[in-house]
Amino acid sequence: MKKIKLRTILPGFLFVQLLLIQLMSTFPVAIETYYSNGIYPYISQLWRGLFGWIPFSIGDLFLFGLVLLILRTIYRLISKRISLKNTLLNTMSWASVLVFFFYFNWGFNYFRVPLSEKLNFTITEYSTQELEQLSQRLIQQTNHLQVKLTGRDSLKVIVPYSYDELYAMAPKGYRNIVAHYPFLDYQTPAIKNSLMSTFQSYIGVGGYLNPLSGEAHININGVKTSAPNTISHEMAHQIGYAAENEADFIGFLASTHHPDTYFKYSGYKNAMLRSVFEMRRRDTLVFKHLIAQLNPGIKKDLKDNQTFRLRYKNPFEPYVKKGYNLFLKSNKQKDGIHSYNRMVLLLINYYAENEARAHEEGLPYKKESNEHP
C-alpha cells in the first residue's frame, strides 16, 4: 500500500518541482545568496568528501545502474510483465527523484548571478577587430609556451604526466588565483578517470561533472595536451559555476596561473582556439591568417585533435549535441551549446580590465616582466 501511495505522489511532485524550478530561476540574487554561496558549498564538500578518496568513479556506477534500470523496464514492458500505466508511473517517479537530486545537489547553480556581474565586467559586445587582437595575443602566448616546452617551434608538445598526476597537480592553479578571486576557492578534490571514456569520445565530451556524486570525470582517451584545461574546467563546475562559458573562463584562469607550464599551455591553447574559431564565424579570411601564425608544433597538436574526432565520428553525435543544446537552453543558457563560445566575451573583458595582463607571469593583479607565462 505504501509503495502504491509513493508511486502516486512522486509523479505529481515532479510537476510541482518543475514549476518551482522555473519560478526560482527568476531570482538569481536569492539563488546566489542562499544556494550557491549558502547551502551548496556544504553539499558539494559532503559528496566530494564521501566519494573523492575512492579510486574509481562512484558517479559512473550510479549512471550504469540507471541505464540497467531503464533497460530492465523496457524489457518488462515488451514482455508484458508490467503495464504501460505502471511503466509511466515508475518512470515519472524516478524522474521526480532524479530532478530533485540534480537541482538540489548542483543544478540551481545555472540560475545564479552571472560571473560577469561578480567581476564587474561591462563590455557586452565586441568588434571583429577586438576579436582579432585577442586571437593574436593568445596565439603569441601559445606559440611562446610551445617553444618553451619543446625547444623548437616544429615539435609537438607531449605531456609527461599521468592522469593521476594531473589530478593531483590541478588544485595548485586555483590556489594561485584565490587571493584575487576568493569566491573561486577549491577544496576537497574529487577528480577521476571516467569509466565511460569511450562513450564520451563517441559523443564528443572531454569531461563532465556528475551532480549525484560531486565527482569530476575526465575522458582519458582525448588528446592529453587538452587535459589540464579540461580538468580545471570541470573543477569550476564543482565549485558551483554551471554555465559552460563561465566554467571555461575559470578553467582558463586556473590553468594559465598554474605553476606548471603544461597547464599554462593547455589553458592558453583552449582560449586561443575559442577565439580563433569564433573568428571563423565572422571572417574566414582573417581566420586563415590567424591559423597561419600558429607554430608548426601547435598545428601538429591540433592535427591530433582532428584525428581523434574523426576516429570517433558517428551519426549519433549531432543528436546528442542537439539534446544537450536543449538541456542548456531549458536551464536559462540562451546560447545553448554555443555557450562555450561566449567565453570569448569574458576574455575580452578580462584583458580590457588591465591591459598589462597580456604579459603577466604571476597572479592577475601582479604585474611581471614581458615574458609570457
Q: Which of 94, 111, 128 is the last residue of a domain?
A: 111
Confirm whether 64 is domain-assigned: yes
CA-wise closest residue to 223 among 310, 308, 163: 308
Residues 144 and 95 in one domain: no
Residues 223 and 253 in one domain: yes
Confirm whether 371 is domain-assigned: no
CA-wise closest residue to 342 among 283, 269, 281: 281
Give the span between the Cα atoms of 139 and 293, in whole angstroms.
Answer: 7
pLDDT of the residue at 325: 74
Q: Given pLDDT bands bounded at 50, 70 and 90, which one contains residue 355?
A: low
Q: How many structural domains comprise the chain?
A: 2
Set of cell numbers at residue 160? 609527461
What phi and psi values does residue 35 have, to the nearest 5 degrees? -105, -65
- Is 60 exceeded by the pLDDT of residue 1? no
Confirm whether 372 is domain-assigned: no
Q: Which of 91, 111, 131 is the last residue of a domain?
A: 111
Confirm whether 183 is domain-assigned: yes
CA-wise closest residue to 229 among 200, 198, 203, 260: 260
Query: 207-209 and 191-193: which strand pairing?
Result: unpaired
Residues 86 and 7 in one domain: yes
Residues 107 and 120 in one domain: no
Confirm whether 364 is domain-assigned: no
Q: Which of 111, 126, 150 is the last residue of a domain?
A: 111
Residues 192 and 121 in one domain: yes
Query: What would the pLDDT profile of 160-206 be if each residue is shown by its tens digit?
Result: 999 999 999 999 999 999 999 999 999 999 999 999 999 999 988 99
Q: Given pLDDT bands bounded at 50, 70 and 90, which one contains residue 370?
A: very low
pLDDT of the residue at 5: 65
- Is 50 exceeded by the pLDDT of residue 323? yes
pLDDT of the residue at 363: 42
- Is 60 exceeded by the pLDDT of residue 26? yes
Confirm whether 370 is domain-assigned: no
Residues 82 and 123 in one domain: no
Residues 45 and 175 in one domain: no
Residues 242 and 353 in one domain: yes
Residues 167 and 267 in one domain: yes
pLDDT of the residue at 270: 96
Confirm whether 251 is domain-assigned: yes
Structural domain that includes position 343: 115-359
Confirm whether 84 is domain-assigned: yes
Residues 26 and 163 in one domain: no
Query: Could you count the other beta carbons within 10 Å of the beta carbon of residue 310?
Result: 8
What is the Cα 142 distance to its own chain's centre? 21
pLDDT of the residue at 356: 42
Residues 311 and 202 in one domain: yes
Residues 157 and 71 in one domain: no
